[in-house]
Copies of this chain bind each other. A is one copy, B any other.
């Protein structure tokens, strides 16, 4: 059971009786080698323990068949969904994914980019940290390799391929729904950690104007830009409820995690969102966080098409890697959100 361990391809070629270049071709693509020789090699491989050295392999290749992915935050089911979609698509394309997490720290994000450059990855897919990101790092990354932004796009980088959600559409969609089933919705903003925050707010305002309603935004004055969305949502709404405000209104939260906090505030104030008999309070979110169906009440929201976003980001990356891109105008792909009506609104 304990096979002899062979470290180098050289030694392996001696053990099997095939030349090293032939082995090299075999490991890259067995179809490049005659069937008979393939059989001989495979038989030999069963006798020993050998794994080609990853580094030596990539060192002298034009393409490393690896892509780097940066996400800002691990403990957020939205980003894990996105990452999963990317990983699956990349796996299908035969790419090795190197994942790095910024841990909401621009310095770590910059270091991750540095790592990608030193690894000569074929390209980088980045879900940016937001305002605090070091823009210079992105510029360097872009000048060195194919580069695709995902989920959120800094205004300072209009010339980069981008895949995300059409927030004007998605936010408009749920704004319209809330207006239809209840009174004019209020927008509970989220900490402005990235550019989506503003886009959603604008999407809400635009739709309200279109409907001839007066937009109303709360929670935007909280300036502590962190990722504690739930606490933010609860704090803002608890303060409002304490003053007797918004207890019978439709409240559109900038994302589901804010909405989770909002639901908690409602619960603590004895309010039951979504049930008209207990007053007109409605709470809705945005993203369709994995746990939304299991909240109490289940959260009405707009689903982001994470599967499509992740897949598209990888496909675009492949095009860039293969040089199949003719014009150099950036490709902006926005996927529509889908309304998911549950009990909370």
Type the 1/0 row for A288-329, where 1 means its CB is closer than 8 Å to any CB of B: 001101111110000000000000000000000000000000
Beyond A54-B119, A91-B108, 7 additional contacts (C-beta under 8 Å) are: A5-B144, A52-B118, A55-B58, A55-B120, A57-B118, A260-B294, A264-B293
State whether the Cβ of A224 lies closer than 8 Å to any Cβ in chain B.
no
A298 to B296, CA, bound (A): 10
Residues of chain A in range 104-123 having any CB-CB distance to chain B below 8 Å: 108, 114-115, 117-120
| A324 CB, nearest partner CB in chain B, Å | 24
Q: Which of B2, B54, B140 contacts A49 (CB 8 A)?
A: B140
| Stretch of A30-38, A95-103, A190-198, A237-245 contacting B (4+ beta carbons < 8 Å) | A95-103
Contact between B59 and A87 (Cβ–Cβ < 8 Å)? no
Q: What is the chain B residue whose CB lies nearest that of A136?
A: B1
| Stretch of A78-86, A149-157, A171-179 contacting B (4+ beta carbons < 8 Å) | A78-86
Contact between B74 and A80 (Cβ–Cβ < 8 Å)? yes
Contact between A296 and B296 (Cβ–Cβ < 8 Å)? yes
Q: Which of B51, B77, B103 contacts A77 (CB 8 A)?
A: B77
State whether the Cβ of A263 lies closer than 8 Å to any Cβ in chain B.
yes
Question: For A5, what are the chain B residues with a Cβ–Cβ distance below 8 Å?
Answer: 144
A260 to B292, CA, bound (A): 11
State whether the Cβ of A181 lies closer than 8 Å to any Cβ in chain B.
no
Tally A residues with Cβ within 8 Å of B: 52
Residues of A bordering B, CB below 8 Å: 2, 5, 49, 51-59, 74-75, 77, 80-81, 83-84, 87-88, 91, 96, 98-99, 101, 103, 108, 114-115, 117-120, 140, 143-144, 230, 234, 260-261, 263-264, 267, 290-291, 293-298
Could you write out 11 A-B pairs with CB less than 8 Å apart?
Answer: A49-B140, A51-B114, A51-B117, A57-B118, A75-B81, A77-B77, A99-B99, A230-B294, A260-B291, A264-B298, A295-B295
| A303 CB, nearest partner CB in chain B, Å | 15
A152 to B73, CA, bound (A): 24
Question: For A295, what are the chain B residues with a Cβ–Cβ distance below 8 Å?
Answer: 295-296
Q: Which of B77, B91, B118 contacts A54 (CB 8 A)?
A: B118
A94 to B234, CA, bound (A): 38
Q: Residue among A96, A117, A296 with the most chain B CB within 10 A? A: A296
A267 to B83, CA, bound (A): 32
Question: For A96, what are the chain B residues with a Cβ–Cβ distance below 8 Å?
Answer: 115
